Structure 1
Amino acid sequence: MESTRVDRWLWAVRLAKTRPDAAGACRGGRVRVNGRPAKPATMVSPGDEVRARVGEVARVVEVVRVIHKRVGAADAATCFLDRTPKPTVAQTVPVAARDRGAGRPTKRDRRMMEKLRGSRR
């Protein structure tokens, strides 16, 4: 049965932008193969389930075909089945509305808007 390293496979099927990114995700505990944490040298073969969070995107894929070198995007898409669950309906976020012509927001208004957005500088 054919197999390859998980970091190489993630890079080859274009789930990771670079191979060091794929290896870093493995070392950081953001890649699991068949439910177990994966090191960069963990071997994957057809039928394995790979859960990877590379960058901001979390993906759940099933290995269909093992490739060792990076190929075109169309060919890479045939090497895995995407089993990533659909995102849930996002909760509606209240929008800070101001009256037209009210002028610039005060410091208090700005802090209230930041609190609604959930961001602080």
Structure 2
Amino acid sequence: MRIDKFLFFVRMVKSRSAAQRIAEERHLRIDGRVIDRAAADVKVGSVLTFLLNERVRVLRVEGLPSRRGPVPEAQACYTDLSPPAA
């Protein structure tokens, strides 16, 4: 699944264009590798690290969503490994 679709479907960003911007501005890593395109693949088990709203987010992908569903459905697709907010 494309990284921009994943971030949009799990409700990390409000639009796919916002997710594309995160990837294209090189503010995103998949398993430690810097990503510079929104079409990068994400798989179950991948660890995503990115800056969102002045906070570093770290997510482990647990499942690939088929749609942008309700919040509980979206949250079941990842485990949040982010450091606590200051």
Is the CA contact (8 Å cut-off) linking 1:34 and 1:49 kept in structure 2?
Answer: yes
Q: Give 1:67 shift.
A: 1.4
Q: TM-score, normalised by structure 2?
A: 0.91
Question: For residues 53 and 19 of structure 2, what CA distance do their matches in structure 1 show?
Answer: 10
Larger Rg: 1
Q: Which runs of 4+ in 1 moved over 3 A?
A: none
**Residue number in structure 1 paired with 2:4:** 7
Checking the alignment, whether the CA contact within 8 Å between 1:21 and 1:54 is kept in structure 2 is: no
Normalising by structure 1, report the TM-score: 0.66
Structure 2 residue runs without a partner (length 5+): none
CA RMSD of aligned residues (A): 1.2
SS at match of 2:57: strand
- 1:16 maps to a residue whose letter is V
Alignment of 1:48-63 (within 5 A): 48-63=46-61
What is the rounded CA distance, in whole Å, between the counterparts of 1:54 and 1:42 in structure 2? 18
What SS is found at the alignment partner of 2:83? coil
Distance 2:21 2:52 in 1: 9
Give unpaired runs (5+ residues) of structure 1.
89-121
Matched residue pairs, number?
85
- Letter of the 2:6 counterpart: W
Give distance in 1, aligned partners of 2:21 and 2:53. Answer: 10
CA-to-aligned-CA distance 1:63-86 (integer Å, 9 cap, x gap) = 000114211111001000000012
Q: Name which of 18, 33, 44 aligns with 2:30.
A: 33
- Identify which of structures 1 and 2 has the higher relative contact order when contacts are C-alpha pairs closer than 8 Å and 6+ apart: 2
- For 1:6 and 1:32, the matched residues in 2 are separated by 10
After superposition, the Cα gap between the structure-2 partners of 1:68 and 1:30, relative to the gap in structure 1 and judged at 3 Å, is farther
Structure with more of its chain in strand, by fraction: 2
Counting aligned pairs with the same residue, the percent is 27
Partner in structure 2 of residue 76 of structure 1: 74
